[in-house]
Amino acid sequence: MAQVEIVDTADVKTQEMVLNMGPQHPSTHGVLRLEIGTDGEIVRWVRPHIGYLHRCFEKHAENLTYPQVIPFTDRMDYMASMNNNLGYVLGVERLMDIQVPERVEYIRVIVCELNRIASHLISFGTYGLDIGAFTPFLFAFRERERIFDMFEMTCGARMLYNYIWVGGVSHDLPDGFIEAATAFVDDFEKSIDEYNGILSGNKIFIERTANVGILPADMAINYNVTGPNLRGSGVKWDLRRDEPYSIYDRFEFDIPVGRGEMGTVGDCWDRYMVRIWEMEQSRRIVKQALQQIPKGNVHAAIPKQVRPPKGECYFRTETPKGELGVYVISDGTTKAYRVKVKSPCFVALSVLPELCKGAMIADVVAIIGSIDIVLGEVDR
């Protein structure tokens, strides 16, 4: 009987192929260029190229007065503009040692948490779109429209607000806002159940996202990943609870973390579910704030001229994307000497090459969607 010789597959020469995803691409959540080195279907390395959306925010901040910088902060993470405003303004207020009225604090919490819901809705909707489910995107936009209507009622703008000012807010809440917001939070509970029904529990969606793009907790901490990405890996760290700013310590809310229910702790499904759970928690916060909000004059503490004393301040807040750090150096004039922003999306993008190692090409899209980056904040 002749010996059967199995041809050594090392003789077959295969080439490593370099794919280019972007800069224009339906699934990269902005202008991002990814160089992907693949061997057949498996990804060997990923090299992100950023900077396509760089608009010199930090340079502008040196040439404008402090209030003039606030519209520029809107445009960093344009999905969660209120939270960006808040981060910058709190830094300046700390420098100037301003105490804002109670009503202002409550208003700020309400709009920031509503904006968190809006940002997570986008993340949920576009993630469904990346995986191939078209309908959740439109369901998400239905709720976003209601939030935008409320914001338009308040400050006149739907997406980029310039609302939170140094020492207060630009406009007081109009008549009808409290009613609209209460109606929204009551209806939103059913909406979250709808989202879980159509996407989170869907077998195909789970197959595409569970055990994909696993981010271990220690790697997340080493890379300084924060926000839902960190909590998805099981680490219970939220600045609103662990280093409370504003009046977050007055509200009762949970910090959801990923538990590896469908796959491993820290996979795409966990990160996605953490955002869904966070929407529920934000809803709770808004509901409590709407019940507790006092009366007052929102313009009482706004200084005539924003001229912080010489000094520096690093203030960090929890935005929907993670920990936003704003470092302000004041030289005593009306314009800042230096404003540096630490962007959570930039850090999340830096861990992408690690997550994609050994994944399939189709999984790269799922992984990018799960870390929820906004290129406006990555590039500033």
Partner 1 sequence: MQALAQYLIQTFGLPVPLSVLSPLLGFMGGVVVLTAIAVQAMYLIWLERKVAAHMQDRLGPMLVGGWHGWAQSLADGIKLLLKEDIVPAAADRPLFLLAPLVVFVGSFAAFVCLPFGDRVIISDLNVGIFYIIAVTSFVVIGIIMAGWGSNNKWALFGAMRSAAQIVSYEIPVGLSLLAAVMAAGSLSMQEIVAAQDGGIHRWFAFRNPFLFVAFVIYFLASLSEVNRTPFDIPEAESELVAGYHTEYSGMRFSFFFLAEYANMFAVAAIAATLFLGGWQAPWGGGAPIFGVIWVIAKAHFLVFVQMWLRWTLPRLRVDQLMYIGWKVLTPFAFACIVGTGAWMLVFKQG
Partner 2 sequence: MDGYLSAVVFYVFAAITVLSGAMVALSSRLIYAAFSLLLTFFGVAGLYIFLGADFIAATQVLIYVGGILILLLFGVMLTHRIYDFKILSTRVQFVPSVIVVGCTFALLLAVIFGTRWQMVKEAPPEYTAATIGKLLMTTYLLPFEAVSVLLLVALIGAATLARRDLTSGEES
Query: Measured from the CB of residue 362, what is the shortest distance to partner 2 in angstroms?
Result: 13
In whole angstroms, give the CA distance from residue 57 to residue 341.
Answer: 9
Region from 54-62, 125-133, 303-311, 337-345 binding partner 1, contact rule CB under 8 A: 125-133
Question: Nearest-CA neighbor of 233 among 208, 216, 255?
Answer: 216
Q: Which of residues 7-26 bind partner 2 (CB under 8 A)?
A: 7, 9-10, 14
> Which member of 49, 54, 55, 142 binds partner 1 (CB under 8 A)?
142
Residue closer to partner 2, measured from CB, 39 or 193: 39
Residue 35 makes CB contacts below 8 A (sequence gap 6+) with: 18, 19, 20, 46, 47, 48, 49
Q: End-to-end distance of the chain based on CA atoms, in angstroms?
A: 71
Query: Does the footprint of partner 1 cover residue 49 (CB under 8 A)?
Result: no
Backbone dihedral region of 214: left (phi > 0), alpha (psi from -120 to 50 degrees) or beta? Answer: beta
> Which member of 66, 72, 139, 184 binds partner 1 (CB under 8 A)?
139
What would the two tokens of residue 139 be? 């369901």
Query: Does the footprint of partner 1 cover residue 340 (CB under 8 A)?
Result: no
Cβ proximity of 79 and 112 under 8 Å: no
Amino acid at 99: Q
Region from 55-63, 108-116, 132-140, 224-232 binding partner 1, contact rule CB under 8 A: 132-140
What would the two tokens of residue 192 be? 């979250």
Question: If contact means CB under 5 to 8 A according to the sort of partner, which of partner 2, partner 1, none does residue 39 touch?
Answer: partner 2
Across the beta sheet with 33-39, the strand order is: 17-21, 33-39, 42-49
Query: Does the footprint of partner 1 cover residue 35 (CB under 8 A)?
Result: no
Query: Measured from the CB of residue 44, what is the shortest distance to partner 2 in angstroms?
Result: 10
Query: Does the footprint of partner 2 cover residue 261 (CB under 8 A)?
Result: no
The residue ranges that bind partner 1 (CB under 8 A) are 19, 21, 25-27, 41, 128, 130-135, 138-139, 142, 198-199, 202, 204-205, 207-208, 360-363, 365
For partner 2, the binding residues (CB under 8 A) are: 6-7, 9-10, 14, 39-42
